[in-house]
A and B are shown apart, each in its own frame.
Chain A
Amino acid sequence: MTGVTSGDECTGPLRHLDSFLDRSLSARDTALVDRHLQSCPNCAGEFEVRELLRARLKRAVHNESVPPLLESRLTAGLRHQVEALDARRGLHFDWRQMAAIAALLLLCAAGPIVYLAASRGGTANPDALMQVGLGDHIHCAMDSARSEPAVVSGAALGSGYQDLVPEIKSVAPAGYRLTEAHRCTYDGREFVHLILGADLGGGSQVMSLVVTRKRKGETFAGASRADAPGTSGRVYLDRSDRYQIAALETPEHLVYLVSNWSERANTATMNVLSPAVRRILS
């Protein structure tokens, strides 16, 4: 960089005026420009114009309003995305593995409750009964996590339950496919079990329909939480960790819909399924 005062006495200071304005000149050059401005009205006037323009620009940009809810929107958006990322990228699991991990945690917690419920032979309290479907769901998700996805039909369910397959497929969101349709036994109780999964852009999704025969005296009536009674009967609600549970009972069966959706979505889906499920299981 050439010295400020070289050549024509205004050329140097004018060339450095922006840097002078921004206090980015060396102490020596700052002093030289400063001295020149005190003796040259033209350059002093030019400096004032630039200083004024900068002040006006700053004021104009700062006076622009910021949307009142911007901060809360951004904070909520960030928290939502961080949660989604933690579920998807942070853990590096697909839905099967997620379910398996949850199982390891939950078998310890839910297992004893299920066991107690079963061992009391039908005198279980309704809230404990709500978790029966979940205990099984986790158990099978663990098994399925070990095997490769295969083409699944409802044949293994046996007559009387096969018809559940098209019904649950019809209420499953786009992108879901049936990954499990089987009978299984867990803690001495037999289950009919359907699992649908999807790997969507927003993370792994899973829904599961679990059906088991009632034991003597078992009922959800009296469970802590229930949806408003629908036309075809009441849906009872519970949750465990990230899973939502919506359950209904028929004279002979307990039926659970378990998913990692919102409670609202899970409950609404169970209400849609309810008439067909009651018809098939009657």
Chain B
Amino acid sequence: MNAVTCDWLLSQGHIELTLEATGPAEQVTPTLSQFEAEAMPHMHDLYRTATRVLKDRARAEDVIQEVYLQAWNSFHRFEPGTNCRAWLFRILFHTVNHHRRKWFSVRLLGEREEYLEKNLTWNPPLPENLTDKEVLHALDRIPADFRTVVLLVDVEEFAYKEVAGILQIPIGTVMSRLSRGRKLLREQLAGFARSYGIGKSIVREKSV
């Protein structure tokens, strides 16, 4: 395994990325078509993740557009055969973080501290007959940092190490956010069940 460096310029300066890679680097100028063939197949995964993290479809589409442009600008450094998907996700979260202050409210950040104080011993049962809508609603209610790690591991099936690379955080932080995120998700779902009875429609839950 050797490391390949993928870098691109962002408004605030030069950012360097390091990805695990195999094989020697080729110094061939890639075409836009080659880039599209490599990167576009991951578009749905990126869009899904961005939509759930940002909770806004239009904004998610704008971000994905930005991600693809950034990715194209640094694609000449990308090595064919390496993990393009992880590379694109890394650009996605770099872009999201870049806009973060604007998009995530102070209230959400405050909530995070509160969540960290919660005890970790409660393992509520999972309601039966959960609808997709209920699950997504519960996911939307947990803070962005936890939601992000849960999405990357549980939905996009990245390994802890890959998530650490994508989010640029230590692997221990990935594991603790994942653990707390899953627990928070479960608490949300159990909360729905307690309020309305297990298996009842989510439609009524909107009146909360």
Contacts and interface: CB of A to CB of B under 8 A. Distances in A.
Genuine A/B complex: yes
Interface residues of B, number: 40
Interface residues of A, number: 32
A49 B125 contact: yes
A240 interface: no
A47 to B, nearest CB: 11
Interface stretch (A29-37, A61-69, A176-184, A219-227): A61-69
A64 B51 contact: yes
Interface stretch (B13-21, B92-100, B177-185): B177-185
B65 A53 contact: no
Nearest to A14: B123
B90 interface: no
A81 B35 CA distance: 14
B43 A70 contact: yes
A26 interface: no
Interface string B122-166: 010110001011011001000000000011011100011000000
A71 B40 contact: yes
Contacts of A105: none
A24 B159 CA distance: 8
B182 A59 contact: no
Interface in A79-100: 79, 81-82, 85
Contacts, number: 91
A200 interface: no
Given A57-B150, A77-B65, A62 B32 contact: no
Interface in B79-135: 123, 125-126, 130, 132-133, 135
Nearest to B41: A71
A57 B135 contact: yes
Interface string A103-133: 0000000000000000000000000000000
A19 B175 contact: yes
Contact of A57 (B32, B43, B51, B155): B155
13 contacts: A19-B160, A22-B153, A22-B159, A22-B178, A53-B126, A53-B185, A54-B182, A58-B155, A59-B132, A61-B48, A64-B48, A85-B69, A85-B73
- Across the A-B interface, the 10 shortest Cβ-Cβ residue pairs: A60-B132, A60-B135, A54-B154, A61-B155, A77-B65, A78-B68, A58-B155, A49-B126, A63-B132, A81-B69
Interface of A: 18-19, 22, 24, 46, 49-50, 52-54, 56-64, 66-67, 70-71, 73-75, 77-79, 81-82, 85
Given A66-B48, A71-B43, A73-B61, 10 more contacts: A19-B175, A22-B153, A24-B159, A58-B154, A60-B136, A61-B48, A61-B52, A61-B139, A74-B65, A78-B36
